[in-house]
Amino acid sequence: MIKEIRIHSRGGQGGVTAAELIATAAYKEGKWAQAFPYFGAERRGAPVKAFARISNKEILLHSQIYNPDYVLVFAPSLIRTINVTEGLKENGIILINTRKKPEEMTNFRNFRVATVDATGIALKLELLVAGLPVVNTAMVGAFAKVTEEFKLESVIEAIKERWSGSAGEKNAKAAEIAYNQVIRGW
């Protein structure tokens, strides 16, 4: 069965890279995977969507994702301007980068909600680009824990392949911290 993921982020937060990391981590565990972006205005801070698919069988579908199993929200401010749950399957999971607890996210009662302070983790580890926190690796680490689609070790391996040296270590640490700090509301 194909599992579909939609990521809502702002330009510069690493949403497209997160989709690629999700696909790479799944591939490392013998799964089929794809990742692709959907851009509107291509500028830092603008809303960006990225998508990933994971399956135990070959994926023949090559289109935008309209009914995801999972939604990741990198910027909580997007919740006020975009219907981030549009098409999310019944009993789907939404993972939100926020300091709030899942039960405080009252506008998502029909879904399973998980939260993690990915921004706080990125700031603590100084994962910054142009002075802004990049939350992608923390969000992918939290995603691994919440969905159990792949292991944290596969995420860390994918991260260390993408970034070497201290950048790889810091991003791997962000994934590990988020994995351990994510809060499930179910």
Q: For residue 135, what pLDDT is reported? A: 97
DSSP letter for 89, please. P
Q: What is the CATH number of the domain that holds 32?
A: 3.40.920.10
Per residue in 67-99, pLDDT tens?
999 999 999 999 999 999 999 998 899 999 999
**Closest C-alpha to 138, from 126, 130, 149:** 126
Domain that holds residue 79: 3-184
**How many domains are contained in the chain?**
1
Cα separations (Å) of 36 from 7, 23, 84, 161? 10, 10, 18, 19
Kindly provide the b/e burial profile for residues 2-17, where b requires at least 16 CB atoms within 10 angstroms of the residue's own CB.
ebbbbbbbbbbbbbbb
Is the pTM higher than 0.75? The answer reads yes
